[in-house]
Amino acid sequence: MGFVPLILLAIFVVPSSISGTAIALPAIARDTNADLTLLHWVVNAFNLTFACLTLVWGALSDQLGRKRCFLAGVVIYGVGSFISGMSPNIIVLDIGRALAGAGAAAVFSCGIALLSSNFEGNKRVKVFALFGTVAGLGVSLGPTLSGLLLDTLGWRVIFYTHLTLLSVILIWSKSIPRDEISAEGRLKFDYLGALFFAGALFSLILAIVQSSQWGWQDPGTAALVLLSAGLFVVFWQQEKRHPAPMLDLSLLTSRAFIGYSLITVAGSFGFVTLLTYFPTYVTSVLQMSATAAGLTMLLLTAPLLVFPNVAGRLLAGGVPASIVVMSSLGCLLVGVLSLAWISEPNLQFVYLVVPLLLIGAGFGLTAGMVDALALQVVPERKSGMAAGLLNTFRLGSEAIAVSLYGSVLATLLHDQLNAELSVLTGDAATLRGWVNDIAAGKLNTTIPISDAMSVERILQVTIHGYDGAFHGVLWLLVSVLLILAVVIGLLIRDAQGRSAAG
């Protein structure tokens, strides 16, 4: 157990970096004079390389050694953090964040594989319950810790803090146990498959990220989607004929593994989207102060400090995994459904308590536990590859879900406000700019006051328009969660049925 705190420290840094960096964007924009597109890439560059390389690192660790790849990821992450902290301009900062994301992919996938391969039975359940709790701490405390550093020492210190924590891991790395390394791994690794897969996923996520700015009918968006589809086809053919494929396609035929992996997709749509966008609704539509909004979001994130451990205790006590999983999905579904049912302008804080706690509990019940469940149904020699694929499900779906949420919200908002605001301008580009500002939470955006519409009326229209679009997205999330719950239930049931029969 001596090495576990080091793995958990690395795991803590990753989600805290993701959730905490966004709070520094306004200060970064002021210091670097960055335009909005390059500023957003401070977050997007990290997420893209993180999502695209988790499977690559997982497969590489099975052949070259999990400890070696884990520590390589720590070094790359640290170098990226150093570049981010000392960056003289926004372009260098974006490059540093992309490099940090590449290292984080190794830290996450190889760290999980190290935990899985060194523990069995109830010890594995307890370790992954700790993993879920620490990851939850990172998500919950990331914005708070980054905010404190930002207010006292400046935004660069946020990245230097990541570097400091990662350095601690390197100093004490001898306590991490070595694993078996294939002597032929370096020659056999499927580098071409890794290139095809990373390129395909990168193109797909980039298309979704940029669709909110370019539009889905833009030739650039269409070209990226077609490129992604083509590369996925080439990747599939490459894996079928390579003697040591980066992705063993048999993993995709395991109903249990796919079922457990899809739980992370449900978390992306039911929890991560709201973690990203609900603060805008709270401050804009519900007219809460920043402090009140922060306290409100604690209802969503605080359960992550408790429920991973609850899930671990339930499993250790003999409760079937399927019951815990379906309870998790039920909490997510009921939480989002109740939020869609009750939320409205000027809603009192007390009515948000139950829906947000349910959503947080649903996500927390499978945080960490899903990794243990998914990896226990695959051979130990494939645990690195399986961890990489699981995190590709997790991170890829997060990027897709968040981007789709923003794109659908902007589309619905345009439908809600087009008729009302078109009386103020006949220029489509101007109207679209207003709608985009409102979608970003700028309800006080510069809309000219005229005899046709007073400032009070404009505010009322934008609030109710945003509320209507928000509800439309929530009902879409409910539909996605319902479908996923049915599919996951069938996959897990079939897998358990065959296990019992065997």
DSSP string, 341-395: HH--TT--GGGGHHHHHHHHHHHHHHTTHHHHHHHTTS-GGGHHHHHHHHHHHHH
Average pLDDT over residues 216-225: 86
What pLDDT is attached to residue 499?
40
Average pLDDT over residues 8-33: 81
- Cβ contact 16:141 at 8 Å: yes
What pLDDT is attached to residue 50?
87
Cβ-Cβ contacts under 8 Å for 426 (sequence gap 6 or more): none
Average pLDDT over residues 277-304: 78
pLDDT in tens, 228-269: 999 999 999 988 888 778 777 888 888 889 999 999 999 999
What pLDDT is attached to residue 345?
86
Q: What is the dihedral sign for C-alpha 423, 424, 427, 430?
A: negative
Give SS3 for 450. strand
Distance CA 393, CA 413 (A): 29
CA dist 19 → 138, 146, 252, 312, 432 (Å)? 8, 9, 30, 25, 29
pLDDT in tens, 355-369: 999 999 999 898 878
What pLDDT is attached to residue 184?
47
Average pLDDT over residues 158-179: 89
pLDDT in tens, 79-105: 999 999 999 898 999 999 999 999 999
Q: For residue 221, give the H/E element and its range.
A: helix 219-241
pLDDT in tens, 143-166: 778 878 877 888 899 999 999 999
Distance CA 318, CA 249 (A): 32
Among 332-341, 439-448, 451-460, whose mean pLDDT is lowest?
A: 439-448
pLDDT for residue 496 is more than 60: no
| Residue with more model confidence, 292 or 94 | 94
- Cβ contact 381:399 at 8 Å: no
Q: Domain spans of the chain?
A: 1-185, 190-243, 411-471
What pLDDT is attached to residue 452?
57
CA dist 222 → 41, 51, 215, 397, 464 (Å)? 21, 21, 10, 20, 33
Among 33-42, 307-316, 438-447, 474-483, whose mean pLDDT is lowest?
A: 438-447
Average pLDDT over residues 468-495: 90
pLDDT for residue 337 is more than 80: yes
pLDDT in tens, 237-246: 988 888 778 7
| Residue with more model confidence, 290 or 34 | 34
pLDDT in tens, 373-389: 888 888 877 777 787 78
Distance CA 46, CA 270 (A): 22
Assign 485 a pLDDT band (cuts: 50, 70, 90): very high
pLDDT in tens, 123-141: 877 888 788 778 877 877 7
Length of the chain: 502
Assign 334 a pLDDT band (cuts: 50, 70, 90): very high
Pick the CATH number of 1-185 from 1.20.1250.20, 2.40.160.20, 3.40.309.10, 1.10.390.10: 1.20.1250.20
Distance CA 369, CA 327 (A): 13
Tell me which range, 72-76, 177-181, 347-351, 427-431, is most confidently predicted by mean pLDDT: 72-76
H helical segments located in 422-454: 428-439
Contacts by 218-226, CB closer than 8 A, 24 or more apart:
none
Instruction: Pick the closest to residue 173 from 27, 10, 335 (CA basis).
Output: 10
